[in-house]
């Protein structure tokens, strides 16, 4: 199975985040919003394991997909040095993406930090008439992909922790206001665990379904090694379930946030 593709473009988005455009008709065509790819970083001597990255957006006509990657350690640092024309070893698309149901007419996508990335293609692909995005950043200088998001939804709300842009505060506070104004049919949340937990609890009170995208240190990326697990409810009990295979997207009400 071929996993080697060409990089079309690498572009700096902010101080520590960059956008890689990769040529792969297979991944562009097959992937669904919320799915991940598993990337080898260099020759594997400096960073042994692959890195799981959410697909940010796809261009199905050109046969390319975009990955927005924050430099967090050795692996992402190696990826940040790649240039147009370089080869990249990518497994995917992997896992289960977001649910796109036509019956959901009004949706809200809520993202915090690097959690905003998988929401872009979700907003582009979702058939809803009314699509709202609530994105959170620490501060103004870190805000990225604002135009792309604005073009992909009906309304974009931005929150910053320090109030340097948009609303001051957390995205979950904005979500609360929006939900109280008008109930959405479905909400998608991706970001830090505390944020997703707060979002799920809020929506539960209003009886609104939601999906969250989980993150964990990953091994094989395909469900065999059982390392990237989270607690998922099953009947009256729960199981550790593989995020790479059964997720990363789960229904908000089935996840147990510790």
Could you give the count of Cα atoms lying within 13 Å of 245 in the half-sphere of its Cβ?
Answer: 14
Would you list the DSSP string of 45-63? SSS-S-EEEE--EEETTTT
Under the criterion CB under 8 A, does residue 47 sit at the interface with other proteins?
yes
Under the criterion CB under 8 A, does residue 50 sit at the interface with other proteins?
yes
Q: Report how far residue 40's alpha carbon sits from residue 137's, in angstroms, rounded to the nearest whole number.
A: 28
Where does 34-154 show beta strands of DSSP type E?
36-39, 51-54, 57-59, 64-70, 87-94, 106-112, 130-137
Phi and psi angles of residue 190, each rounded to the nearest 5 degrees, phi first:
-145, 125
Under the criterion CB under 8 A, does residue 227 sit at the interface with other proteins?
yes
Under the criterion CB under 8 A, does residue 219 sit at the interface with other proteins?
yes
Under the criterion CB under 8 A, does residue 255 sit at the interface with other proteins?
no
Least CB distance from residue 191 to other proteins, whole Å?
Answer: 18
Contact 50, 59 (CB under 8 A): no
Least CB distance from residue 198 to other proteins, whole Å?
Answer: 20
**Given 4, 183, 194, 224, the residue binding other proteins (CB under 8 A):** 224
Q: Which stretch binds other proteins (CB under 8 A): 16-24, 39-47, 142-150, 155-163?
A: 39-47
Q: Which stretch binds other proteins (CB under 8 A): 60-68, 154-162, 188-196, 212-220?
A: 212-220
Under the criterion CB under 8 A, does residue 235 sit at the interface with other proteins?
no
Binding map of other proteins across residues 166-205, x = CB under 8 A, - = no contact: ----------------------------------------
The count of residues interacting with other proteins (CB under 8 A) is 28
Least CB distance from residue 3 to other proteins, whole Å?
Answer: 8
Q: Report how far residue 192's alpha carbon sits from residue 98's, in angstroms, rounded to the nearest whole number.
A: 17
Instruction: Give the three-state DSSP class for 129.
Output: coil
Q: What angle do CA 22, 220, 96 make, to 5 degrees?
A: 65
Q: Which stretch binds other proteins (CB under 8 A): 99-107, 166-174, 176-184, 213-221?
A: 213-221
Under the criterion CB under 8 A, does residue 30 sit at the interface with other proteins?
no
Its sign, for the CA torsion 19, 23, 29, 31, is negative
Residues near 126 by Cβ (< 8 Å), separated by ≥ 6?
A: 33, 98, 100, 104, 107
- Comparing CB distances to other proteins, the nearer of 92 and 184 is 92
Least CB distance from residue 195 to other proteins, whole Å?
Answer: 18
For residue 145, which of 123, 167, 170, 175 has the smallest C-alpha distance? 123
Residues that bind other proteins (CB under 8 A): 1, 40, 44-45, 47-50, 91, 216-230, 239-240, 245, 258
């Amino acid at each position: 199975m071929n996993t080697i593709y060409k990089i079309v473009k690498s572009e700096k988005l902010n101080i520590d985040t960059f956008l890689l455009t990769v040529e792969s008709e297979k991944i562009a065509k097959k992937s669904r919003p919320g799915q991940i790819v598993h990337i080898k970083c260099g020759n594997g001597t400096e960073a042994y394991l692959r890195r799981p990255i959410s697909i940010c957006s796809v261009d199905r006509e050109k046969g390319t997909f975009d990955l927005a990657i924050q430099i967090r350690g050795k692996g992402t640092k190696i990826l940040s040095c790649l240039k147009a024309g370089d080869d990249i070893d990518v497994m995917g698309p992997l896992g289960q993406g977001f649910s796109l149901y036509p019956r959901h007419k009004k949706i809200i996508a809520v993202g915090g930090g690097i959690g905003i990335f998988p929401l872009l293609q979700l907003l582009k692909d979702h058939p809803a008439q009314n699509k709202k995005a609530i994105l959170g950043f620490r501060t103004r200088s870190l805000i990225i992909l604002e135009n792309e998001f604005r073009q992909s939804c009906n309304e974009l709300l931005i929150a910053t922790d320090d109030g340097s842009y948009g609303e001051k505060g957390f995205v979950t506070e904005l979500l609360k206001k929006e939900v109280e104004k008008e109930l959405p049919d479905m909400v998608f949340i991706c970001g830090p665990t505390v944020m997703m937990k707060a979002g799920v609890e809020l929506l539960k009170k209003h009886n609104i379904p939601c999906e969250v995208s989980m993150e964990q240190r990953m091994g094989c990326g395909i469900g065999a090694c059982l390392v990237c697990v989270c607690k998922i409810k099953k009947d009256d009990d729960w199981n550790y379930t593989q995020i790479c295979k059964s997720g990363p997207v789960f229904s908000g009400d089935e996840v147990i946030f510790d």
